[in-house]
Structure 1
Amino acid sequence: MSASLYQTRSDTPLNALEIQVRNDGPDPVTVDSAQLRSGRLAGAPVWDEPVEIPAGAAMDLKVSLPPPDCDGSPGETVALRVDGQDVVIDAPDRLGQVAEYVAAVCFEDDVESTTHIVVEAVTDEGIRVFVDPGTSEVGALGTTILFAPVDPEALAAAPGAPGDVRPVRLRPNRCDAHALGEDKQGTYFDVEVTLADGRSGPYTFTVDQEQRGQLYRLYARMCGLS
């Protein structure tokens, strides 16, 4: 048996992870359970639906990622129950996606301890966002699969600046009915944030479910899809 870890595009916004378990033997096996163990995760998620894996085949077992342990160390294993026997095998994070998840969530927690960026409303031209930088510097707003800001500096704020509400005009990043119909990340916005300790990176903020529907309708109207 061998294992590896990866995320699909749809897993990322859901904080889910695929444990890919491969049967390297000559006979089919039944995996009764799989538990992910990691020094950089605050829990050990379990897949507990028995699945048969044919010889030479692999199956993806989806689990929910627990919160990270920001002081933990890398190194993942999977504890398997296979045909009634227990085995623990290495599960390499070959694409570095577990590392990216841990870094992103820990950075996000540190941003949210001092900085507040909240979408207050969807408008006819985009979104209205409350920005309080606290001790951080808020920089450029990025694009999403669906939208691009007309002014990437619309949310820019220096450390210590008073909180205020910013209008953000949006335009379609590209008009694509299929992209709209299949969207999973188009209403997640990245803005560059630099913390007081010098760490810098994208901070992701999003909208509530009602606002998401409003943004989809705005995109459809802007693209002539409605």
Structure 2
Amino acid sequence: MRTRAIVGGALVLIAALSGCAAGSPPTPAPTLPSGVTVELQQLRSDVSSRQAEVHVVNGSDAALTVGEVRVEDPRFERPSARVIADRVSTVPAGGAVDIRVQLAAVDCDAPDDGDARVVLEIVRDAGTVEAAASAPDPVGFLAPLHARECLEEQLADAAGLAFTGFTASAPGDPASLELTVTPTGSAAAAITGIERTNLLDFAAPDDDDLYPLDVAVAADETSPVVVAVPIIPFRCDPHAVQEDKRGTIFDVQISLDGKPGEIELFVGEELRGRILTWVGQWCGFGG
């Protein structure tokens, strides 16, 4: 009887060790190591690529090595992971590191308000362990991003929006930025206006930040509508172009079911390059 108990216990131990050897994911610890804190940030350069930064501050007296990183948030369909997989980051004692993550698709069944947590894989000589902590969002970008992208999903049921062309102009004259609205024939919507950016303004008779569009899409409509938006540089200091991050991302005002809203629309990398070149030439500092 005693022998059988010893053998049974040994088998349980072997099975447990085998499970560890098979690479079962570690259970996240409730907190990060003492002195280590995290928060979420989104830089201007992260917006168009839908990325964010996990800002890790190491307030301990020993270096911290971080492997896998993921952000878990009910407002997204799955965890958001490192942009560059398998990278390892070392955070020196008293230092800080920003680790870029690719945001997952939003889950529009979830409310805009929610709590995010960060899970870090901490690499040690004896192996790795996962530690988790609630991640503050001091700038407050997550809730607006969720609301905006869910609004974009609703708009997509009615129409697709895209910048589809750009015609440069001589200095002093407005260029033309082409916006195409493509109805789906399934729902109604209204595209009411587009706001200037920190780099581009509108060549309009009135001094207004909003250029009216007034494009109404009927539920049974499928014919594309093309709008030529006259633009001029909002500013002509060279560093505005050289350091541009959001100058070609426009806020577009829409209305769905009578409710106003706002989405962001990027011109795309190809048009962005052409527009920045034109701004430099229009302002007299381009090649």
State the TM-score, normalized to the length of structure 1. Answer: 0.87
**Would the aligned equivalents of 1:122 and 1:211 in 2 still touch at CA under 8 Å?**
yes
**Would the aligned equivalents of 1:77 and 1:89 in 2 still touch at CA under 8 Å?**
yes
What is the aligned counterpart of 1:39 among 59, 64, 74? 74
Partner in structure 2 of residue 51 of structure 1: 89
Does 1:64 find its partner at 2:102? yes
What is the aligned counterpart of 2:136 among 88, 92, 100? 92
Partner in structure 1 of residue 215 of structure 2: 157
Aligned-pair distance for 1:132? 5.0
Q: Following the alignment from structure 1 to structure 2, what is the Cα–Cα distance between the partners of residues 72 and 105?
A: 12
Instruction: Report which stretch shifted further, 177-186 or 149-158.
Output: 149-158
C-alpha distance after superposition, 1:113-148 (max 9, x if no partner): 212333232123221222357612222211112211
Letter in 1 for 2:249: Y
Letter in 2 for 1:24: G
Q: Following the alignment from structure 1 to structure 2, what is the Cα–Cα distance between the partners of residues 12 and 2?
A: 24
User: Aligned to 1:107, what secondary structure does the other structure show?
Assistant: helix
Q: Following the alignment from structure 1 to structure 2, what is the Cα–Cα distance between the partners of residues 164 and 107?
A: 21
Pairing of 1:100-119 with structure 2 (within 5 A): 100-119=144-163
* Counterparts in 2 of 1:43 and 1:135: CA distance versus 1, 3 Å: same
**Would the aligned equivalents of 2:149 and 2:263 in 1 still touch at CA under 8 Å?**
no
User: Aligned to 1:113, what secondary structure does the other structure show?
Assistant: helix
**Would the aligned equivalents of 1:130 and 1:165 in 2 still touch at CA under 8 Å?**
yes
| Structure 2: segments with no counterpart, 5+ residues | 1-35, 170-174, 205-209
Partner in structure 2 of residue 6 of structure 1: 41
Q: Following the alignment from structure 1 to structure 2, what is the Cα–Cα distance between the partners of residues 225 and 26?
A: 49
**Would the aligned equivalents of 1:141 and 1:149 in 2 still touch at CA under 8 Å?**
no
Aligned-pair distance for 1:19? 0.8
Does 1:147 find its partner at 2:200? yes
* Counterparts in 2 of 1:5 and 1:167: CA distance versus 1, 3 Å: same
Letter in 1 for 2:64: V
Instruction: Report which stretch shifted further, 75-84 or 7-16.
Output: 75-84
Partner in structure 1 of residue 282 of structure 2: 222
Instruction: Report which stretch shifted further, 92-101 or 167-176.
Output: 92-101
Letter in 1 for 2:87: E
Partner in structure 1 of residue 266 of structure 2: 206
Q: Following the alignment from structure 1 to structure 2, what is the Cα–Cα distance between the partners of residues 128 and 75?
A: 39
Partner in structure 2 of residue 177 of structure 1: 238
User: Aligned to 2:213, what secondary structure does the other structure show?
Assistant: coil
Structure showing greater radius of gyration is: 2
Aligned-pair distance for 1:159? 4.8
Instruction: Report which stretch shifted further, 59-68 or 74-83.
Output: 74-83
* Counterparts in 2 of 1:194 and 1:30: CA distance versus 1, 3 Å: same
| Structure 1: segments with no counterpart, 5+ residues | none
* Counterparts in 2 of 1:135 and 1:93: CA distance versus 1, 3 Å: same
C-alpha distance after superposition, 1:99-119 (max 9, x if no partner): 222122111121222123332
Does 1:130 find its partner at 2:180? yes
- Paired-residue identity, %: 28
CA RMSD of superposed structures (Å) = 2.3
Instruction: Report which stretch shifted further, 19-28 or 159-168.
Output: 159-168
Structure ranking higher in helix proportion = 2
Q: Following the alignment from structure 1 to structure 2, what is the Cα–Cα distance between the partners of residues 18 and 170?
A: 33
